Amino acid sequence: MKCLNQTHKVFFDSRSVPRAFWENGDEDVTIKILFCGVCHSDLHVAKNEWGFTNYPVVPGHEMVGTVMKVGSDVKKFKVGERVGVGVIVGSCKKCESCQQDLENYCPQTIFTYNSHYTDGTKTYGGYSDMIVVDERYVLRFPDNLPLEGGAPLLCAGITVYSPMKYYGMTEPGKHLGVAGLGGLGHVAVKMGKAFGLKVTVISSSPKKETEAIERLGADSFLVTSDPAKMKAALGTMDYIIDTVSAVHPLLPLLSLLKLNGKLVTVGLPDKPLELPIFPLVLGRKLVGGSDIGGMKETQEMLDFCAKHGIAADVEVIQMDYINTAMERLAKSDVRYRFVIDVASSLSQ
Amino acid sequence: MAMLSENEHPVKAFGWAARDSSGHLSPFKFSRRAIEEKDVTFKVLYCGICHSDLHNVKNEWGITSYPVIPGHEIVGVVTEVGTKVTKFKVGDKVGIGCMVGSCHSCANCKDNLENYCPKMILTYGTKYYDGTITHGGYSDIMVSDEHFVIKIPDNLPLDGGAPLLCAGITVYSPLKYYGLDKAGMHLGVVGLGGLGHMAVKFAKAMGLKVTIISTSPNKKEEAVDHLGADGFLVSRNIEEMQSAMDTMDGIIDTVSAVHALLPLIGLLKTNGKLVMVGAPEKPLELPVLPLLLGRKIVGGSGIGGIKETQEMIDFAAKHNIVADIEVIPMDYVNTAMERLLKADVKYRFVIDIANSLKPI
């Protein structure tokens, strides 16, 4: 692939940032970005909270757009199609994980931003006007999914869908707890209902209850600081998706699980959590992790959402609102995802 | 208290009990209930010493009610059966593990998971249906509901088979439940004691490659030459641990002391499973990122149901799996407990009850 330097206006400030513009290779697709969701990871990386940010960084890994150009070997897409790009844009394609359509667990995963291609050049994300991606890492965007509401599915959606499938949280009638009601949590509630589960939101904020039940369709709401309600809910849940990124106690969540219950964490606390072992042994419970999903499963998730009418609840913003949006996101002041209207607000 | 125990039930019995939290065991006269229609009475021949016995006699879990007769790895010969007993006859070799009762009606009991029944009755130290406290296998006879009695196949030695009733099922059940029972898989076993050595034997019989992870380099020869482990990692050897990263399908962690999980999680492949069967009293630190990045789990497991315990015993008999034991007379038990505390046993003490428990 040849690399040309061109300048494009990107966010944070209005100075142009030099950015590699790839020529479209044989297996590549060039995409005009229409919308891009603002994921909490974007905030972590922008502020170097994980310690590996390589500035300048163009975040954004929940993007949807239209195909402008396809390489000569591209089979899955044609010009004009609606597509999405999520968290990864490359992998080794040869390891056991890649062969099992689990590119997200490949040791050489290339992330959509703040990562490097094999030739050492940086990857830049979706807070930008266009992107060139190997077709393997591009998703077909279903026609009946709204672009703005569908964009966040490319990270938030797959992040909760994948563990729900892997850990078997899809048996109708079973009881799912969703800890944390933000970008990930609200999508988990919608998917849980689509799987036919009873869903209880577990939250530290009592004021989210009406919203959770009346708008999102949760069956019940549990405030973690209400000891009587927590006690009444002991041993009632088959599984819990834990979306909380702050350090928090696991014991109360483990206690909500039935025998053989599964607590799956998809949030990323920056310190280790305390894990009491007795509840695991006495109830044959487990704590597991999950990290986005492979390309095949991400496509399956989009198709599932299209079939069940699942989209994220979004607040659409202009590009120049992004810094304010980031501040509000840090305070969880959004229902439940910001989505940047890139096409109409980011121009050269 | 001793008088009370002796007169509680009609059948005279004799054992060794701890009377206070010093944990010191001494001769103790007590009594067993009269046999009922579904009960089996058996003469105890051997009883394994489980580390739980030590925790219990010293009241380390704060739940001990003295006097307590420990012992839940009990084997013997049936001497009497109740009128409605169908599974056993006089002369059968039998065993009892950690449980002697449950509710029989909850979802867990119906699923053959009596060990998870909220009303499960432990073999010792728990209130039985009649309100009396159960007494364990450091004694001459046992009376039990046949449901909780395990048939010991003829070809399984009784002394080496006794520890299977707790240590054996404790590792067998999670190997099955967590799917770590397929030939060719790579299993790590943390800690080489009563539980650990049983895990090695079962896993090898299931066709797995087994690596032991231990703090003691001096256990290596024993582990590889005698137990048949394929590999041995010294957990404090950073280079060894790093070179083994991302190689194991699962790990059975038998260590009850507080210890670091991060290096163990690192040994697991993607989708790997770390299963805790030891129970540290304090919480352990769980690093979340490694779980996420490899879709790994940390799970727990506690003994097993009766059906599975029988299945495990039959599997052991078929594959000639018994515990490695040191047979001791009853009056050595206090010394044995001291040695057990220092992990100075390869790998289970078993009390020769029949030949050394003499009534006073």
φ, ψ for residue A265, nearest 5 deg: -100, 125
CB B305 within 8 A of CB B112: yes
Would you state the pLDDT for residue A24? 83
Please name the residue ranges forming H helices in chain A: 40-46, 96-99, 147-150, 156-166, 183-194, 209-210, 227-232, 251-256, 278-283, 295-308, 322-330, 342-345
Nearest to A284 among B116, B261, B294 (CB): B116
Among A279, A233, A234, smallest CA distance to A260 is for: A279
Task: Note if the bond before A56 is cis, omega within 30 degrees.
Answer: yes
**Domains of chain A with CATH codes:** 2-155+293-304+311-341 (3.90.180.10), 157-289 (3.40.50.720)
Is 50 exceeded by the pLDDT of residue A77? yes
A-side interface with B, Cβ within 8 Å?
A: 96-97, 102, 105, 163, 166, 250-251, 259, 265-269, 272-291
Please say if the pLDDT value at position A7 is more than 60.
no
Query: Quick one: residue B201, left, alpha or beta (phi over 0 = left, psi -120 to 50 = alpha)?
Result: alpha
Query: A253-265, pLDDT tens digit by residue?
Result: 999 999 999 999 9
B167-300 homologous superfamily: NAD(P)-binding Rossmann-like Domain (3.40.50.720)
| pTM for the full predicted model | 0.93
Contact A265 B291 (CB under 8 A): yes
Determine, for residues B286 and A287 on separate chains, whether the beta-carbon distance falls below 8 Å.
Answer: yes
Is it the case that residue A245 has pLDDT exceeding 70?
yes
Chain B nearest C-alpha distance from A3 (Å): 31
Specify the pLDDT at position A6: 30
Q: Which residues of A touch B256 (CB under 8 A)?
A: none
Mutate to test the interface with A, among B119, B176, B270, B274 (most CBs of A within 10 A): B270
> What pLDDT sits at residue B5?
79
Contact A277 B277 (CB under 8 A): no
**pLDDT, tens digit, 9 for 90 and up, residues A300-320:** 999 999 999 999 999 999 999
Contact A272 B288 (CB under 8 A): yes
Specify the 3-state DSSP secondary structure of A113. Answer: coil
Nearest CA in chain B to A251: B283
> How many other CB atoms sit within 10 Å of the CB of residue A90?
21
Q: Which of A168, A225, A226, A216 is nearest to A195 (CA)?
A: A168
Between CA A221 and CA B257 the distance in angstroms is: 37
The pair of structure tokens assigned to B47 is 């009883």
Do A88 and A105 form a contact (C-beta atoms < 8 A)? no
Residues of chain B with CATH 3.40.50.720: 167-300
B-interface mutation test, from A242, A250, A287, most B Cβ less than 10 A away: A287
With b for 16 or more beta-carbon neighbours within 10 A and e for fewer, the A120-132 pattern comes to eeebbbbbbbbbb
Asked whether the predicted pLDDT for residue A1 surpasses 50, the reply is: no
Is beta strand B99-101 parallel, antiparallel or unpaired with respect to B209-214? unpaired
Which chain A residue shows the shortest CA-CA distance from B254?
A281
**Helix extents (H) in chain B:** 2-7, 51-57, 107-110, 158-161, 167-177, 194-205, 220-221, 238-243, 262-267, 288-294, 306-318, 333-341, 353-356
- Residue A208: per-residue pLDDT: 92
Measured between CB atoms, does B301 come within 8 Å of chain A? yes
Residues in B touching A273 (Cβ below 8 Å) = 285-286, 288
Determine, for residues A281 and B276 on separate chains, whether the beta-carbon distance falls below 8 Å: yes
The residue ranges of chain B whose pLDDT is under 70 are 1-3
Neighbours of B20 (CB within 10 A): 13
Is A287 in contact with B298 (Cβ distance < 8 A)?
Answer: yes
Surface of B (233-292) touching A: CB under 8 A: 261-262, 270, 273, 276-281, 283-292
Instruction: Quote the pLDDT of residue A5.
Output: 28
Residue B356, Cα to own-chain centre: how many angstroms?
23
For B290-346, write each residue's pLDDT tens digit.
999 999 999 999 999 999 999 999 999 999 999 999 999 999 999 999 999 998 999
Residues of chain A with pLDDT > 90, as a percent, come to 86
The superfamily CATH assigns to domain B11-166+323-352 is Medium-chain alcohol dehydrogenases, catalytic domain (3.90.180.10)
- At residue A189, the pLDDT reads 98
Nearest to B301 among A268, A274, A281 (CB): A281
- The mean pLDDT value of chain A amounts to 91
Measured distance CA(A256)–CA(A235) in Å, rounded: 5
CB pair distance less than 8 Å for A265 and B299? no
B225-273: per-residue pLDDT in tens? 999 999 999 999 999 999 999 999 999 999 989 999 999 999 999 999 9
| Dist. CA A303–CA A140, nearest whole Å | 9
Instruction: Measure in Å the smallest separation between the Cα of A182 and chain B Cα atoms.
Output: 19
**Nearest chain B Cα to A98, which residue?**
B270
Q: Taking CB atoms and an 8 Å limit, are B288 and A166 in contact across chains?
A: no
The alpha carbon of residue A162 is apart from the nearest alpha carbon of chain B, in Å, by: 10
Residue B6: its pLDDT value, please? 83
Task: Identify the band that residue A347 occupies on the pLDDT scale cut at 50, 70 and 90.
Answer: low
Which chain B residues contact residue A250 at CB under 8 A?
286
Counting residues of chain A whose pLDDT is more than 70, the rounded percentage is 93
pLDDT, residue A15, reads: 36
Q: Is the confidence at residue A19, as pLDDT, over 60?
A: no
Do A83 and A29 form a contact (C-beta atoms < 8 A)?
yes
Q: Angle at CA A240, nearest 5°, toward B247 and A89? A: 55
List every span in chain B annotated with CATH 3.90.180.10: 11-166+323-352
Q: How many CB atoms lie within 10 A of CB B118?
A: 11
CB pairs under 8 A between A and B: 105
**A113-148, pLDDT tens digit by residue?**
999 988 888 999 999 999 999 999 999 999 999 999
| CA–CA dist A139, A295 (Å, integer) | 8
Q: Which residues of B touch A268 (CB under 8 A)?
A: 288-289, 292
Calculate how close chain A gets to B256, using CA atoms only, in Å: 10
A242 to chain B: nearest residue by CA?
Answer: B288
What length is written for chain B?
A: 360
Average the pLDDT over A10-18 and give the result: 37
In 3D space, the residue among B299, B349, B312, B351 whose CA is nearest the CA of residue B170 turns out to be B312
Q: To 5 degrees, how large is the angle CA A173–CA B106–CA B101?
A: 155
Compute and round to an integer the Cα radius of gyration of chain A.
20
Q: Which residue of B286, B296, B308 to mutate against A (max A Cβ within 10 Å)?
A: B286
CB contact under 8 A, A284 and B177: yes
Contacts of B285 in chain A (CB under 8 A): 272-275
DSSP 8-state secondary structure symbol assigned to residue B152? P
Taking contacts as CB-CB distances below 8 angstroms, the residues of chain B near A286 are 273, 297-300
| A105 with B270: Cβ contact below 8 A | yes
Which of B162, B161, B159, B139 lies closest to B43, judged by CA?
B139
What is the mean predicted confidence (pLDDT) over A76-103? Answer: 96
